[in-house]
Amino acid sequence: MSITRETSAAFSVGDAVRFPLGSRTARAVIVEDRGPIGAQGRRIYRVRVDYDPDDSVTFEMPGEEMELVPADDALARPIENSEAVDYLQRGGLISMLQTATSDGKQIGVWLRRDSLGNVTHTFAADRGLVGGAVIPSGAVYDNRVFTAKSDHVLRFIENFGLVRPDAKAVLKTVGTAP
């Protein structure tokens, strides 16, 4: 990662950037250009790091410590059907279904990649890659899908770009409850 010192605006609000954070590389979005207010005129940006499913943190970073995320970045690649199936089978589906509210509030959910490239879910449309369907309420019983809600859950799963046989495979692995 090359780090260059620039005092002019090197980034714009909305740009995806990355920077060293401990032993890892963090990804963030520029949310504000604070200007050359740092020591010796360093340009400072407010960045937002998204932690999912629905958490984020903002802080300030000097522009010279960041670089633009390339358009062909691996974390932006589409989610393959096999990856979505695996995530949903290994707890993702139940986790999503458990967030449905009993008060009738509708919550949409999307699949996305986390900072390591693994599939996760988010409730923020601007962070999602695929999905957006409203989570069916009352669909979980004893960490399995309530049998009476199976058809709703199958349609919900298909919203992530999966075909019916894949959705049925997820449901079979997760299991149903009376």
Domain spans, the chain: 16-68, 74-177
pTM over 0.85? The answer is no
Report pLDDT digits (tens) over 58-113. Answer: 999 999 999 998 866 766 678 999 999 999 999 999 999 998 866 767 889 999 88
Q: Which of the pair, 24 or 157, is modelled with greater confidence?
A: 157
Q: Does the pLDDT value for residue 7 go beyond 70?
A: no
User: Which pLDDT score is estimated for 86?
Assistant: 96
Give the pLDDT score at 4. 44
Mean pLDDT of 11-40: 88
Please, which pLDDT band fits residue 10 given cuts at 50, 70 and 90? confident
Q: What integer pLDDT is reported at residue 91 of this predicted model?
A: 94
- Residue 54 — pLDDT band, cuts 50, 70, 90? low
Q: Tens digits of per-residue pLDDT, 110-149?
A: 998 876 678 999 998 888 889 999 999 999 999 999 999 9
Q: Which H, E and C letters describe the chain, residue by residue?
A: CCCCCCCCCCCCCCCEEEEEECCEEEEEEEEEEEECCCHHHCCEEEEEEEECCCEEEEEEEEHHHCEECCCCCHHHCCCCHHHHHHHHHHHHHHHHHCCCCCCCCCCEEEEEECCCCCEEEECCHHHCCEEEEECCCCCEECCEEEHHHHHHHHHHHHCCCCCHHHHHHHHHHHCEEC
Instruction: State the average pLDDT for the chain.
Output: 87
Confidence grade of residue 6 (pLDDT, cut at 50, 70, 90): very low
